[in-house]
Structure 1
Amino acid sequence: MSGMNESDQVIAQKAIGLLELTSLNADDTAERIISLCERALTPVGNVAAVCVLPRFAGLARRLLDDLRARNVKVVAVVNFPNGGACVDTVESEAQAAMLTGADEIDLVYPFHAQLAGNKQLGGEMVAACRAKCGRRGMLTVTLETGILRDPQIIHDACRTAIRAGAAFLKTSTGKQIVSATPQAARILIEAIAELGPQVGFKAAGNVRTLAEARTYIEMTQARFGPFWLEAGRVRLGATSLLDELLAELGVGS
């Protein structure tokens, strides 16, 4: 096994089921997305989701269906990665992704506007994007906490996102120097506890080791209880973590 104790084994197995594998590069190709989807089906169980650019949502969904992995969700990012201020653009991106096969939308919150003091835009954008998700689609709101930085600003954005219809709050895109941190995660988790116990939590960016995964899993469990540790409540955006988890469990990818 690699010398893990039983607790490590349990955490590694749990983490695989919470993983959201991502490929969000401007030069992504169909071949890269196919490989990502194939990696989502591991010898010890499927991951929770794959997260891709909108133009690949249909391909990912068709491939996963062909692989009989309907339970693996396809998440399409919008307003990515710069968190722009145009609601119309976000609506168009979200609608197109849902129509082509996305199960969920991941909206990058307009963090520049939030920092500039425009607290209304975020709510308007989240609500508009939520409407395009329809009845079946879930909406993640990525807050880019490494840029917002100030705890009160992050908390305000969390409250706005929850009230406007977010199904998940996510720490970061992974495209900034500072991504997920336990401090930022704690703010998101407390906002969820305060306003939206039905809202889930995602840690993404800089989650690369079993120890880091354990931190976020244990934080959510400590606040909400063990029943929370399922893919509809907690996700780890951590593609590079998969190989380590599989190796720790004694299987190959």
Structure 2
Amino acid sequence: MQLQDAARLALACLDLTSLNDGDTAADISTLCAKAQTPFGTVAAVCVWPRFVAQARAALPASIKVAAVADFPDGALDLPRALADIEAIAQAGGDEVDVVLPYKALVAGQRAEVAEFLAEVRHASRPLTLKVIIESGELASSELIREASRLALMAGADFIKTSTGKSPVSATPEAAAAMLQEIRSSGLAHAGFKASGGIRTVADAQVYLKLTAQTLGEGALNPQRLRFGASGLLNDVLAVLEGGARPVSAGSAY
């Protein structure tokens, strides 16, 4: 795939994100303005729940508004997750990115994690549900696969690599395992979201290729593939404008 083609796809599949502790209303206004480019719009903006109403008012309906729940620590705290989801829905959000209780999974609390995810899925309908498995905190490929399976069995629309707040974010190895679980699930609608450390179109190309190889070329669309990033848009625009591109800082692989 040519770099400009990859840039167009990355733009269409981008969840433009701002989840800094100090985010202000002005930051969200800037984010929403950036989401609408001369080359097209991003798929969604992703913000804290308290900014959902502002983002929804600032954006056309074609751009989804996503917000996070149980974020970023992924505690086994169902009331907190449900409160986040309710706030997002009430404010007009379209999508919720919820952190799977990955520490509980590592500790062997599989049944508790499965119950948490089932309750989250029930409470979040009809919002699009993305489950963040925090792959960089899962010590083995089998744990990554198990987290992916639990999320998919609970009805997740997407499984997502990372919060972007852990030392290791998205990696091709984790992505490959997650994509294989999506394929094995037989769920034709289920998608994959790569998040954390994806800063350049070259970084995104790795995940575009993996997705096409595992799920087929037909999955290269925002219904099946997303990129969660704040800085990726800068390189996408540089590529599409034909200008000099920033040197890749590299992903946290």
Coarse TM-score class (shorter-chain normalised): over 0.9
Q: Give the RMSD, CA atoms, in angstroms.
A: 1.3
CA-to-aligned-CA distance 1:153-190 (integer Å, 9 cap, x gap) = 11111111111110000000000110000000001100
Query: Are 1:43 and 1:251, in contact at CA under 8 Å, matched by a contact in 2?
Result: no
| Counterpart residue number, 1:7 | 2
Query: Are 1:53 and 1:76, in contact at CA under 8 Å, matched by a contact in 2?
Result: yes
Distance 1:125 1:37 in 2: 32
Q: Which secondary structure does the structure 2 equivalent of 1:76 belong to? A: strand
For the pair 1:114 / 2:105, whether they are aligned, the reply is yes
| Counterpart residue number, 2:196 | 205
TM-score, normalising length from structure 2? 0.93
Give the alignment partner of residue 73 of structure 1, picking from 59, 64, 72. Answer: 64
Distance 2:192 2:15 in 1: 12
For the pair 1:41 / 2:40, whether they are aligned, the reply is no
Moved over 6 A (4+): none
The alignment-based identity, stated in percent, is: 42
Q: Return the offset for 1:149.
A: 2.6
| Counterpart residue number, 1:239 | 230
For the pair 1:86 / 2:56, whether they are aligned, the reply is no
Give the alignment partner of residue 190 of structure 1, picking from 174, 180, 185. Answer: 180
CA-to-aligned-CA distance 1:54-88 (integer Å, 9 cap, x gap) = 11111111111xxxx21111111000000001111
| Counterpart residue number, 1:132 | 123
Give the alignment partner of residue 11 of structure 2, picking from 16, 23, 26. Answer: 16
Give the partner amino acid of 1:126.
L
TM-score, normalising length from structure 1? 0.93
Structure 1: 5+ residue runs without aligned partners? 1-5
Give the alignment partner of residue 146 of structure 2, picking from 145, 148, 156. Answer: 156
CA-to-aligned-CA distance 1:106-128 (integer Å, 9 cap, x gap) = 10010110111101122222221
Query: Are 2:192 and 2:225, in contact at CA under 8 Å, matched by a contact in 1?
Result: yes
Distance 1:97 1:203 in 2: 22
